[in-house]
Every structure is written in C-alpha cells, then in structure tokens.
C-alpha cells in the first residue's frame, strides 16, 4: 500500500502521543515472562539468615539464601518451599526439575509417573555445604525443635528397612530385590550426622510441635509389609507401634511435646457400607493406642474421619468430630429406575443450589466432641443448629463458645451478611449449654482468658461484651465520641466495624479500632473508652503489626509495632506505641506503601519488610530495629531500568454533585503537558489509597496493567467513586465523567481517544456509562450485570446463594426489592438503554462464572448485535469470573491491547475483530494476526 500524506500525518500524530525515551525499551507481551515475583520470604530465629524465592513469569525460579553478616547470597536454581531449621543451622527445600525438560517430555507424551521428580536440598549454613536427594515426594521440618527432618520418597525399588522396631517382627522382613514397589517410603534424616532410617509403605506423617517425635501411618493398600500407626522417637532413633492391625488410619496427631498421640482408624474387615471409624488415643508409657468408646455421647452418631484432631496446648483435651450416620443410596435399583428430581421448597433453610454447592461439605461435616485425656470423660460441644465453635487453645478454661445461624439461613438471601446468630457457652466437662444471645447480627469471639464473649452488633453499631461469670451483656461503645462503625459505608447494608486489635493480660481491657485510632475499652463498662493514639486530627490511621504469631494478649507495659497511613497524602510508615504511657514514636514514614507484613526474628531484634511505590518493586529490606538504618536484600527486577515506566500522582476535581473527589493519574515517562495523549479510564469503587502500590508488568485476569500501558504511551485515570443509595449508575457517571472532563480541560488528553475499562462491578459501571455518554471512543466491559431484573432473581453459582441480597443490601446499592423500587432497577440496567450506545464494546464473560451469571454478558452482546453496534464477546471456556490459566490471561491481554490500540491509536484491527473466530477454527486459528494493510 502506498503511503499517503494523510496516512503519514496520522503516523506523526501517533508518534507524538506515544513518544518515549529512545534509550529505553518498549514492552510487549513477552515482557510479562521476564518479570520476577518475590515470594516465600523468612528470617532465621537468630536473625542472621534470610531466605526468599525469585520466580519469573515463565520458567524456573531461584532460591536465595542471604547471610546478613557477610552480605553474601547463595543461589539455588529451581529451589522452592524452603524452611530454616529452628537452630539456624540448615535450610531445607525442594528442587524442581527443569521446566523446559518437563514440557518437552510432555509433548512427547511421556507418562506422568515417568517424568522427573523433585529433589530435596539440605544446605548447611556454617560451611555452605549442600546435599541433594533425588525423587522426594514431600518433606517436613520440625517447627520448634531441630536436628531431624523427614521426607517421603517417590516409589522406587524396594530397599532394606534399617529401622529398629519393638514388638514388630514383620518390620525386618527382607523384600525381594529389584522388585518395583508402588508405595512411598519415609526417611528419617539426622541432619548433623546424615544417618537415616527408612520406614516402608508410609501414607502420612507429621512431627510434634515441640517434642522430638513423629507419628506416621503405613499404607493400607500395600500388599506386603506391616500396617498400622507408629511413633518414631528421634532421641532413641526407634519406631514404636501404636497399632499394627490392618486397616485405614487417618487424622494423625501428636500433642505439642509428643507424649500423646491420637488417630482415627477403620479396622473392620467386613464390607459394611457405613464404616465404623473409631478414635484411638495413646499416652507415653502405654504399649499401644487404646480405642475410645463414644457410645455415651451423641447416641447413634459416628466418629468422623474428616475432622482434624486437635490437642489443647496443655494436652488435657483432645478434640475430634462426630456426625450423624450418612444417608445411603438404594444400591438394588437399576440406573433406569432411579428418579433424579430436585424438590425445591419455600421452607428450605438454604436454596437447593446452595445445598448442591455445599453438598460435599455437608457430607463431611462433623461436630466437635472433647475427650478429657486424664479422666477419659467425653462431652459433645456443638450441634447442626450451633455448627460454629470457638475454643480456648490452651486448655486452661472449662468452656467454649458455640453459635449458629440455622434458624436465620433463609433471610440471608435478602438480608445478606452478617447473618443473625444464636450464641451459647458450653461447659467442656458436662456439655451443658447456657444462652448468651439470640438473633445477634455479629460474629462472636472468646477473649483470651475466656472471661468474655464479644462481638460487633451491626444493628446498633456498638461493640458488645458478655460477661460469662454473671451472664450480663453490655454495650461498651456508643459512637457518641467517635463512630466505631465504617464511616465510609455507602451501601444500604449494616455497616461493619474497623476490627479488634486484641486484649490485654487477664482480659483487663479490649483494644479496638475506629477509622483512625486504637481505643482501650473496659469490658465491665465502668470506665469510659480511652484513646491510645491521636490519628483522627491528622486523618492518620494506626494498625497493629503482629510480630509474634503465637501472641494471644498484650502486656500493658509492652511496646507494640504499628503501621500508620495518611489518608490525604497516602504516605505510610511504621511506629511504636507504648501501652504503658500511650506514646507513639514514628520509626519511618515516606511516600511509599510500607507492607503490613513484617517478619521479626524470634530470638533477635532483626526484621525483614518491604516498601514500594509505583516504580519501586517491593524488594526485601533488612533492619536491626531502627527501620532508618536498613539493608536492601533483593533486587528481583533489575531489568526495569531498561524500560520506559511512567509516574503516578493524585488528581483532584469537583464532581457533578459538587463534591471534591480524588483519583489516580498515571502518566508515561517523559510526559509533556503540551502534547495530547490517549487515555484509558479504569476504576472500581475507591482505589486512591493504593497510590503507592507497585504495579509490575503482569498478565492480569481482569484489568489493564498500569505500568505496561504507560510504557505504551497511554494515560491511565482511576477515579474514586462515592455512591448514593439507589443510584449507583448515576453516582459513577457523576464522578467519572466529571473527572475525565476535568482532565481534558488540562489540555494533555486527546478528547477523541478516551477509552473505558472495568471488570465485574467495574464492568457494570462501564456498561452504564456508555449508555449515558459519547465521551468514550471504546470500552472493555468484563463480567457486567446489565439487567438488574434478571440478575436479581439469579444465582451466584459459585456459592449457590440467591443474588437478591446483593441488590437490596450490598454492592449494587439499590436499597430494596424489585417490587419496592422497579424504576431503580430499570434506570440502573444498561440493557434497557442499549440503543443509546454508540461506543464499540469488548465484553469478557466466561461460561463458568460463579459470581456474575454468564447470561448477563450474553444479554449484553446479543442486544448490541441486534442493534448493529460494534461488539465482541470473549468467553474462555470453563474459566470462572476471570481467566485463570496463564495462556488465557496472555490471550486476553493481547486482545484487549489490540482493541484499545485500534480505537485509541488507530492501529490496524486484528482478524478476530474483523471477522471473528468461527467455531470450526476455535483453538486452531486465534485471529490475532493483523491484516496486510499498512499502518
């Protein structure tokens, strides 16, 4: 095609709008594969060693072991899932096979069991010596003691079992040489000496938390060798049988010290359809585990194989599950004799669709029962009506909290959450229950010393405390000084709280948040709430950072670490709060997003954390406590400096309602205010608090990537949207259109090249906006609700719930039923105004969407098609609310870029936009190629 003067002029204008630093690279879709992610970071107990993984978008990752003293890194190609031993001496990890090799073998149709398997890496820190062990299926490292690890080998040729076992002569039987065994073998490995013991035919295993012991079960499917459950004593390097009867063993558990063991076993040799699972308990000194008779509790109920066993920390209590007998099918019926009909009743507590989603869970559901390990007494704790339970983990206190919403399940279809609940205390010795509250709109919890039950009453918007000793419930906040409910709630639903920080020792005080501050609350109600921080005056919020995962309460004299956030500037940082005198000391703050996740060494004042902004990846940083003297540890994306990146800033304007609003504006690198740029408007609800979040190039599942599109020469605008109940579409229009207009008036936005992009709730708003405005050249609308009438009566297939509550109470913000406000449902439904649309639309909606019914996207597309409006629908088969598989995400990102580039940069349309992709070509020809037409 011969170039014309007009075509050259278009090229020149396009070049002006997208010009970048000529010394830097322009991104393409392959760039996504180059960008690394940091994951799995941890610090050793002594604070010297830091471990993390660097994982590329595509290909093999690298495990880094960093010595903070020598400041040297050891790199382990393909290492992952690392654990540092409790004594700071070893790092244990998996080593994956080469990704390219696996892919090539799969292309050659090599069977999965013939593919290379993981190896185990054992790295000794003092001398950097590493040992590799091939064909490892899994491994475990003790949590709070050291010296040993255990790993399960993939099936190999049988090896001689070197384990010494008391009272088990079968263990030393010598297998036939070179015979292939399909069962896995457990290796107990002493780290310092390298000495190992092998136990054959192992199915499952786990270490005690603090004691040097391990419990294992041997595979019941093994044709030869011993069966049963065994205890391995690491101090003696011996295996002791707990039960050697052939059968199935499940839910293995040791108490913290390894002095008690428990498991569930089915040792019945008949073919009974209802399997007689039984609880077994062993205490140190006994020859074998003893069966526990549960006939005295929940008569007719059975021990559940699905409930995880749990010892209290002091070992005095063992919790297990019991359930009613299952409902059995009539196996004598032929297939053609079985009637498959669903009977839906208006009296059902849960919709049938919800029952189907939860069917597997219901079949496995069990109810907690406690065994008092010293006396052998049993008590049933909760029931189907009171299915939830809060238990003191220490074992010191004789009660638990049980609650349930069974009597209120129907109303959740329209009331939404939190549902109403009936709450009781239950005596762990007798199983007797005592009423705490009925129909409470809140989720109860138990205070650390079990003196109080407490919850946020969503109806009264107050924190309530129930004194277990005297049975009285009182409100301990009243919102007169400050509101303790969500001040920004703009949905027609009961507002939530800002949460609880915790309790001080002996349940003396409860510490709760308001929008900005931390308050000390007297649970007796005798003293007024006391504010510990002074954030409201500066619109600065303070939130506790948990450094000790085992901490249950606060010492009133201790100092705690906080994250602070400035609501106006979006700056953040860290501070320390003295609970003794309420003094706040700022450690560090700046124009960054300081992570909420800070890891502290257990036995040292050493920390790892990260901070980020738009162009700073959240790399790992090390400090010894000052947070001003820091050492960067990682640099996972050094290639970023090679690419044009861009910048981000807050932008403020006045909405059509006269409200002052805030949004985020992303500009390309070397932005020139005298030039005009194409712009994409991407938004959801309120996003500006994430101003300093880093946005690495990544094939997102539902949204444009800010750094990628800035590199391509686009402006990106993300406006915050405040909502008026009953008018969500109008609210979005007032905020978004006013913001876009204000930016156009700045002079650097090409008013003829503005696009829209949003997904789910954002997709709905995009669809609404283009029925009201011709401001936008094109729009991508992902998983949009376009017909609120049909959506109101629909089902959220992922949960099986009715969608009514969403429109009446939550995000859709209509505020009532279709019978109360039919005009609101009509006015907020883009489908009924599709004839007003003049904007080309790309719709993404997948056929397994469990959040927004797929037929919403179809209704939108067929309406536009009927009206002759340019529209395309992308449906990634068997994908949920958004594409999950990487190949589908990559494809979606390519098509979305081609769509925007065509309309906003006048680039050539790809084949799929010109003629679609016929069903006969699906999966063969993607239509991504551009035509021969010269740009």
pLDDT attached to residue 490: 96
pLDDT attached to residue 20: 57
Instruction: Give the bridge partners for 250, in sequence order.
Output: 264
pLDDT attached to residue 931: 72
pLDDT attached to residue 221: 80
Which pair of tokens denotes residue 54?
Answer: 């660097």
Buried b / exposed e along 492-527 (16+ C-beta atoms within 10 A) = bbbbebbebbbbbeebbbbbbbbbbbbbbbebeeee
Q: Which residues contact 91 (CB under 8 A, 6 or more apart)?
A: 49, 51, 65, 82, 83, 84, 85, 121, 122, 123, 125
Which pair of tokens denotes residue 162?
Answer: 């070197």
pLDDT greater than 70 at residue 8: no
User: What whole-number distance in Å separates Cα of residue 92 and Cα of residue 90?
Assistant: 6
pLDDT greater than 50 at residue 793: yes
4 contacts 27 by C-beta, under 8 angstroms: no
Instruction: Give the bridge partners for 563, in sequence order.
Output: 543, 574
Q: Which residues contact 785 (CB under 8 A, 6 or more apart)?
A: 763, 764, 791, 812, 852, 856
pLDDT band at 160 (very low <50, low <70, confident <90, very high): low
Per-residue pLDDT tens for 269-316? 999 999 999 999 999 999 999 999 999 898 899 999 999 999 999 999
Helix ranges, 81-202 (H): 99-107
Per-residue pLDDT tens for 379-402? 999 999 999 999 999 999 999 999
Per-residue pLDDT tens for 743-781? 999 999 999 999 999 999 999 999 999 999 999 999 999
Q: How many CB atoms lie within 10 A of CB 329?
A: 9
pLDDT band at 625 (very low <50, low <70, confident <90, very high): confident
Q: Write down the mean pLDDT value for the chain.
A: 93
Longest Cα separation, the chain: 95
pLDDT greater than 70 at residue 622: yes
User: What whole-number distance in Å separates Cα of residue 249 and Cα of residue 244?
Assistant: 11
Provide long-range contacts, Cβ within 8 A and 24+ apart, for 513-518.
513/484, 513/543, 514/482, 514/483, 514/484, 515/482, 515/483, 515/486, 515/487, 515/541, 516/540, 516/541, 516/542, 516/567, 517/482, 517/541, 517/542, 518/542, 518/544, 518/562, 518/577
441 contacts 429 by C-beta, under 8 angstroms: no
576 contacts 585 by C-beta, under 8 angstroms: yes
Instruction: Tell me the Ramachandran region of residue 55: left when phi exceeds 0, alpha when psi lies from -120 to 50, beta otherwise.
Output: beta
Phi, psi of 5 (to 5 degrees): -55, -40
How many Cα atoms are found within 13 Å in the side-chain-facing hemisphere of 457? Answer: 22
Per-residue pLDDT tens for 795-842? 999 999 999 999 999 999 999 999 999 999 999 999 999 999 999 999
Q: Which residues contact 593 (CB under 8 A, 6 or more apart)?
A: 572, 611, 612, 613, 618, 690, 691, 692, 693, 694
pLDDT band at 242 (very low <50, low <70, confident <90, very high): very high
**Axis crossing angle, helix 5-18 with helix 886-905, rounded to the nearest 10:** 120
575 contacts 584 by C-beta, under 8 angstroms: yes
User: What whole-number distance in Å separates Cα of residue 25 and Cα of residue 33?
Assistant: 15
User: What whole-number distance in Å separates Cα of residue 306 and Cα of residue 299?
Assistant: 19
Which one is predicted more confidently, 172 or 53? Answer: 53
pLDDT attached to residue 220: 82
User: What whole-number distance in Å separates Cα of residue 562 and Cα of residue 535?
Assistant: 12
pLDDT attached to residue 781: 98
**DSSP code of 197?**
E
Tokens 């639309």 identify what position? 841
pLDDT band at 470 (very low <50, low <70, confident <90, very high): very high
pLDDT band at 539 (very low <50, low <70, confident <90, very high): very high
31 contacts 708 by C-beta, under 8 angstroms: yes
The arrangement of strands across the sheet holding 136-140 comes to: 136-140, 148-153, 185-190, 196-199
User: What whole-number distance in Å separates Cα of residue 43 and Cα of residue 460?
Assistant: 44
The arrangement of strands across the sheet holding 388-391 comes to: 388-391, 399-404, 420-427, 433-441
Peptide bond preceding 801 in cis form (omega within 30 of 0): no
**Of 859, 868, 866, nearest in space to 840 by CA:** 868
Tokens 């009660």 identify what position? 399
Per-residue pLDDT tens for 695-713? 999 999 999 999 999 999 9
745, exposed or middle or buried, with CB in 10 Å at 0-12, 13-18, 19+? Answer: exposed
Q: Model-level pTM?
A: 0.92
């Amino acid at each position: 095609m011969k170039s014309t003067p007009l075509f050259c002029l278009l090229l020149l204008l396009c070049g002006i709008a997208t010009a970048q630093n000529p010394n830097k690279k322009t991104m393409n879709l392959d760039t996504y594969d180059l960008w690394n992610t940091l994951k799995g970071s941890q610090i050793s107990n002594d604070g010297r060693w830091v471990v993390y993984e660097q994982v590329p978008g595509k290909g093999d990752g690298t495990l880094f072991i960093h010595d903070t003293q020598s400041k040297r890194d050891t790199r382990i190609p393909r290492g992952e899932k690392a654990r540092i031993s409790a004594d700071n001496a070893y790092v244990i990890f998996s080593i994956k096979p080469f990704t390219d090799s696996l892919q090539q073998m799969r292309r050659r149709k090599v069977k999965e069991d013939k593919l290379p398997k993981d190896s185990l890496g054992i790295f000794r820190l003092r001398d950097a010596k590493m040992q590799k062990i091939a064909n490892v299926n899994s491994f475990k490292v003790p949590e709070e003691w050291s010296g040993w690890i255990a790993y399960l080998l993939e099936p190999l040729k049988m090896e001689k079992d070197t384990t010494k076992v008391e009272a088990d002569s079968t263990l030393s039987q010598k297998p036939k040489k070179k015979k292939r065994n399909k069962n896995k073998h457990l290796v107990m490995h002493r780290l310092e000496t390298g000495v190992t013991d092998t136990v054959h035919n192992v199915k499952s295993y786990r270490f005690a938390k603090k004691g040097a012991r391990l419990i294992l079960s041997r595979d019941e499917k093994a044709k030869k060798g011993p069966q049963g459950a065994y205890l391995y004593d690491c101090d003696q390097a011996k295996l002791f049988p707990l039960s050697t009867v052939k059968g199935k063993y499940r839910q293995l558990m040791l108490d913290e010290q390894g002095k008690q063991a428990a498991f569930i076993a089915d040792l019945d040799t008949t073919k009974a359809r209802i399997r007689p699972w039984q609880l077994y308990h062993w205490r140190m000194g006994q020859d074998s585990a003893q069966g526990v008779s549960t006939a005295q509790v929940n008569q007719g109920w059975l021990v559940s194989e699905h409930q995880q066993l749990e010892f209290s920390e002091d070992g005095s209590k063992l919790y297990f599950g019991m359930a009613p007998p299952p409902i059995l099918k009539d196996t004598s019926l032929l297939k053609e004799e079985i009637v498959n009909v669903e009977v839906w009743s208006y009296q059902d507590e849960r919709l049938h669709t919800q029952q189907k989603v939860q069917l597997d869970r219901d079949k496995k559901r069990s109810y907690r029962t406690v065994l008092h390990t010293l006396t052998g007494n049993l008590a049933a704790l909760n029931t189907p009506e009171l299915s939830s339970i809060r238990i003191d983990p220490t074992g010191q206190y004789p009660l638990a909290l049980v609650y349930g919403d069974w009597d209120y399940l129907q109303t959740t279809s329209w009331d939404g959450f939190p549902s109403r609940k009936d709450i009781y205390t239950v005596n762990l010795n007798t199983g007797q229950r005592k009423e705490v509250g009925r129909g409470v709109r809140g989720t109860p919890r138990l205070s650390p010393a079990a003196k109080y039950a407490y919850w946020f009453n969503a109806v009264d918007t107050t924190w309530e405390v129930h004194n277990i000793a005297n049975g009285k419930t009182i409100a301990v906040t009243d919102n007169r000084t400050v509101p303790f409910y969500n001040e920004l709630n703009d949905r027609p639903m009961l507002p939530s709280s800002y949460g609880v920080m915790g309790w001080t020792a002996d349940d003396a005080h409860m510490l709760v948040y308001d929008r900005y501050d931390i308050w000390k609350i007297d649970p007796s109600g005798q003293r007024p709430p006391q504010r510990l921080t002074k954030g409201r005056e500066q619109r600065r919020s303070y939130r506790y950072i948990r450094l000790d995962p085992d901490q249950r309460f606060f010492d009133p004299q201790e100092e705690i670490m906080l994250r602070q956030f400035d609501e106006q500037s979006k700056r953040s940082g860290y501070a320390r709060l003295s609970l003794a005198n309420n003094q706040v000391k700022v450690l560090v703050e700046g124009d960054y997003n300081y992570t909420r996740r800070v890891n502290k060494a257990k036995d040292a004042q050493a920390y790892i954390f990260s901070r980020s902004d738009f162009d700073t990846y959240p790399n790992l940083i090390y400090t010894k406590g000052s947070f001003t003297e820091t050492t960067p540890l990682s640099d996972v994306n050094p290639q970023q400096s090679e690419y044009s990146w861009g910048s981000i800033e807050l932008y403020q304007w006045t909405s059509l309602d006269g409200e002052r609003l805030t949004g985020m504006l992303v500009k390309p690198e070397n932005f020139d205010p005298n030039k005009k740029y194409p712009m994409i408007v991407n938004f959801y609800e309120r996003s500006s608090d994430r101003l300093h979040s880093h946005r690495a190039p990544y094939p997102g599942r539902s949204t444009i990537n800010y750094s990628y599109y800035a590199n391509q020469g686009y402006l990106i605008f993300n406006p915050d949207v405040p909502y008026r109940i009953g008018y969500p579409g109008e609210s979005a229009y007032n905020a978004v259109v006013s913001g876009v207009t204000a930016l156009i008036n700045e002079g650097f936005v090409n008013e003829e090249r503005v696009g829209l992009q949003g997904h789910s709730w954002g997709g709905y708003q995009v669809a609404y906006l283009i029925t009201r405005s011709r401001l936008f050249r094109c729009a991508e609308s992902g998983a949009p609700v376009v017909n609120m009438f049909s959506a109101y009566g629909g089902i959220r297939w992922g949960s099986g719930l009715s969608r009514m509550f969403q429109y009446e109470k939550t995000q859709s913000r209509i505020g009532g039923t279709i019978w109360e406000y039919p005009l609101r449902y009509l006015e907020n439904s883009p489908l009924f105004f599709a004839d007003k649309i003049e904007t080309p639309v790309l719709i993404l909606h997948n056929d397994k969407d469990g959040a927004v019914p797929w037929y919403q996207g179809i209704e939108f597309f067929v309406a536009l098609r009927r009206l002759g409006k340019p529209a395309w629908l992308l449906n990634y088969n068997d994908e949920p609310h958004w594409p999950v598989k990487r190949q589908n995400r990559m494809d979606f990102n390519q098509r979305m870029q081609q769509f925007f580039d065509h309309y906003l940069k006048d680039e050539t349309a790809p084949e799929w936009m010109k003629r679609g992709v016929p069903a006969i070509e699906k999966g063969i020809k993607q239509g991504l190629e551009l035509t021969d037409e010269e740009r």
